[in-house]
A and B are shown apart, each in its own frame.
Chain A
Amino acid sequence: MKIHEYQGKQMFQKYGVPVPIGIAATSVDDAIAAIPKVQEQAGTDVVVVKAQIHAGGRGKGGGVKVAKTRADAEAAVKKIFGMQLVTHQTGPEGKKVQRLLVEQGLDIAHEYYLGMLLDRATGRVTVMASTEGGMEVEEVAAKTPEKILKEPIDPATGWQDWQSRKLAKALGLSGAAATAFAKFMPPLVRCYDEMDCSLLEINPLVTTKDGKVLALDAKINFDDNAMFRHKELEAWRDPSEEDPRELEAKKYDLSYISLDGNIGCMVNGAGLAMSTMDIIKFYGGKPANFLDVGGGATAEKVTAAFKIITGDPEVKAIFVNIFGGIMKCDTIAAGVIAAVKEVGLKVPLVVRLEGTNVELGKKMLAESKLNIVAAGDMADGAKKVVAAAGGKS
């Protein structure tokens, strides 16, 4: 799960990680009202108006403006709110800005990059830092990998103060800034750990001319598997940032991702689901979605999954590809039959069943008299569904 910058900063504040003074707003009026408040609290006229969307690259797309006066700030609010913000992460259609963060302007001395994520090779959460703040970290990693410093966190002892000192030294921090950095790190690491983050990026982390260290940005993703420990985070979910079908799928614990093709896929297992997309493309078709119904799905969940697929107007044919393990073929059959009874079936349906309780599943489908094209194996099913969807695209 992803959250907005302002939400991330609220979380930082709760943990004692320094952030600039700022107020979030969900309307032009609220944002304009926030300007004098921020100016007064911060004791400066300079404010920054920042579009709140989940995608990165907002500054380059015109979603971040520095304003030196109240009038300039109001103009920036009016310009950014409601705009269709296009960045390298939004796709060409962009993303409508419906939330703003009005924040104090800072007297920045230097910008840094700070990130935390799991290093899979070591199995440890690792802090990454670089003096190249504000730049795309992927670009820094590709061009000058030596500029990215890494400090792994020991699962038993946690982050140690010497690691803060080592990083501060390597980043070229000294005096008040080095001290501030040493105070900045422990609550940040605690936040990552306690909140089950899967990615935390501060780009840029800044030092000010008066020796403070602050998080000027906050990009946080949470481990979806740990949501049972953080029910409060549900309130931070922004439905406008999510695909409506993906949202519907989430309600049923289904793993669904919208794609731009016309062949609906229902598969069990992530690997098989990805490979089903691969083989559809191999035979010249285009998948409309990735859908893993998972192992523990009930017939009700399968029904929900099937309805999500048939609800996509682009879908011209459906491929159900199941190799039952923990998932039983009869459960799939029951779910599909129930869904078709409820919403009908307007496009060709190709079904390939194999694995646990396969005979029972096939028998149920045959007795249901549904108009189903049976497939012998994956390749056979992929060829049949590509043909049914109107051939190669």
Chain B
Amino acid sequence: MSVLVGYNTRLVVQGMSGAAGAFHAKQMVEYGTNVVAGVTPGKGGAKVAGLEQVPMFDTMEEAVRLRGANASVVYVPPPFAADSILEAAAAGVQLVVAITEGIPVRDMVKVKYVLERDYPHVVLVGPNCPGVITPGQCKIGIMPGYIHKPGNVGVVSRSGTLTYEIVHQLTSIGLGQSTAIGIGGDPVKGTDFIDALTWFNEDPGTSAIFMIGEIGGDSEERAAQFVKDHVKKPVGAFIGGQTAPPGKRMGHAGAIISGGKGAASDKIAALREAGITVAPTPAEMGSTLAKLLA
């Protein structure tokens, strides 16, 4: 079992004719993901080298109507990405995974608002995220497929590369993953910790959860409260940015300690208070979870 994506996922790649879109579309096809269409405005009917078997369309509407797509992944450049997310939602897919890094906050505020108002059943993951993978079934995004292994640990993370790090550590010690979700590091995003924790908590194929947070905002604190109130499965966690200086934005638009809020120490305290085991270093995330399951 798994959450969000699996054998039934029929994926459209938005921005498939671009360099990143084409490269990762090929990687997804190789992994076994059912990529049913590509969309780039003006490229309908064209062929993308190495992806000749995947039909290209100008619009999402065609991709959904003609290919039965139910999910999309967005590799479109930042100025046009918000438009692409809304186009996907309007076309009727159930899941939109936005990989694009650097979408303006103003655009995402509008996207989030319209999704909540008009498409409440559409799940947005990202933006600025590595994507979602159910190992052995379906990979959507940019994560290296080979580090994953089917299993029972649900992973949710605000950081892309730290998601790879935990998955790699888990796989190395023989712990597979049910689904790994990178929710992204932007301040306005779709799926948040609580959404992912809800799905994993209800998924019979998930027996433990690992969450990776980072400095900035208070979604880890809210997640901790949610775990305390609702989650029955063992939860491990790690918070990145424990040594980050206040007032400096650490790459992710969301990762900044401002106004005395968002510090790693507060988050770690909240997680521990909720009964979550926090890994002391990023190299010990996998072993921390293994101990919980022992």
Please give the residue numbers on chain A whose beta carbons come within 8 Å of chain B beta carbons, in ascending order. Answer: 89, 118, 120-121, 123-125, 137-138, 141-142, 155-156, 193, 196, 198, 223-226, 228-229, 255, 257, 259, 267-279, 281-282, 287, 290, 292, 294-296, 323-326, 354-356, 358, 377-379, 382
A272 to B222, CA, bound (A): 23
**Do A125 and B162 contact each other (CB < 8 Å), given the known contacts A225-B102, A273-B250?**
no
Is there a chain A Cβ closer than 8 Å to B157's Cβ? yes
Encode B83-121 as 1/0 by CB contact (under 8 A) with A. Answer: 000000000000000010111111011101100010000
A142 to B260, CA, bound (A): 9
Is there a chain A Cβ closer than 8 Å to B136's Cβ? no
Identify the interface centre among B105, B185, B217, B260: most chain A CB within 10 Å of its CB. Answer: B105
A269 touches B109 (CB 8 A): no
The residue on B at minimum CB distance from A325 is: B142
For A118, list chain B residues within 8 Å (CB): 105, 109, 187-188
A120 to B78, CA, bound (A): 20
List 17 additional contacts besides A275-B241, A354-B168; criterion CB under 8 Å.
A120-B188, A120-B217, A123-B109, A223-B105, A225-B104, A226-B104, A226-B105, A269-B159, A270-B255, A271-B252, A274-B215, A278-B243, A279-B282, A323-B168, A355-B164, A378-B282, A379-B281
B251 touches A290 (CB 8 A): yes
Q: How far is the CB of B84 from chain A (nearest CB, A)?
A: 16
Q: How far is the CB of A122 from chain B (nearest CB, A)?
A: 9
Q: How far is the CB of A108 from chain B (nearest CB, A)?
A: 26
For A226, list chain B residues within 8 Å (CB): 104-106
A198 to B253, CA, bound (A): 10
Contact of A295 among B103, B142, B253 (CB under 8 A): B142
Please give the residue numbers on chain B whose beta carbons come within 8 Å of chain A beta carbons, in ascending order. Answer: 20, 24, 27, 78-79, 99, 101-106, 108-110, 112-113, 117, 130, 141-144, 147, 157-162, 164-165, 168, 185, 187-188, 212, 214-215, 217-219, 222, 238, 240-245, 247-255, 259-260, 280-284
Q: How far is the CB of A302 from chain B (nearest CB, A)?
A: 15
Contact of B251 among A223, A225, A292 (CB under 8 A): A292
A141 to B259, CA, bound (A): 9
A125 to B110, CA, bound (A): 11
Identify the interface centre among B99, B102, B112, B284: most chain A CB within 10 Å of its CB. Answer: B102
**Do A272 and B130 contact each other (CB < 8 Å), given the known contacts A223-B105, A278-B281?**
no
A378 touches B164 (CB 8 A): no
A14 to B244, CA, bound (A): 37
A141 to B102, CA, bound (A): 30
A295 to B141, CA, bound (A): 12
**Do A223 and B106 contact each other (CB < 8 Å), given the known contacts A118-B188, A272-B162?**
yes
Please list 13 pairs of residues, one from A and one from B, whose beta carbons are closer than 8 Å in the complex, sorted by A's number.
Answer: A141-B259, A156-B117, A224-B253, A226-B105, A255-B251, A272-B165, A277-B241, A279-B281, A296-B101, A323-B165, A326-B24, A358-B144, A377-B283
Closest 4 CB pairs of A and B: A271-B159, A270-B251, A269-B161, A379-B283
A323 to B240, CA, bound (A): 15
The residue on B at minimum CB distance from A267 is: B161
A379 to B240, CA, bound (A): 15
The residue on B at minimum CB distance from A291 is: B251
For A156, list chain B residues within 8 Å (CB): 113, 117
For A358, list chain B residues within 8 Å (CB): 144
For A326, list chain B residues within 8 Å (CB): 20, 24, 99, 130, 142
B281 touches A294 (CB 8 A): no
**Do A356 and B281 contact each other (CB < 8 Å), given the known contacts A123-B109, A268-B161, A290-B251?**
no
Identify the interface centre among B78, B141, B254, B282: most chain A CB within 10 Å of its CB. Answer: B282
A193 to B219, CA, bound (A): 25
For B158, list chain A residues within 8 Å (CB): 271
A269 touches B162 (CB 8 A): yes
**Do A123 and B282 contact each other (CB < 8 Å), given the known contacts A275-B162, A290-B244?**
no
A358 to B144, CA, bound (A): 10
Contact of A325 among B143, B238, B243 (CB under 8 A): B143
The residue on A at minimum CB distance from B242 is: A278
A282 touches B188 (CB 8 A): no
A323 to B105, CA, bound (A): 27
A35 to B241, CA, bound (A): 47
The residue on A at minimum CB distance from B78 is: A225
Q: How far is the CB of B207 from chain A (nearest CB, A)?
A: 25
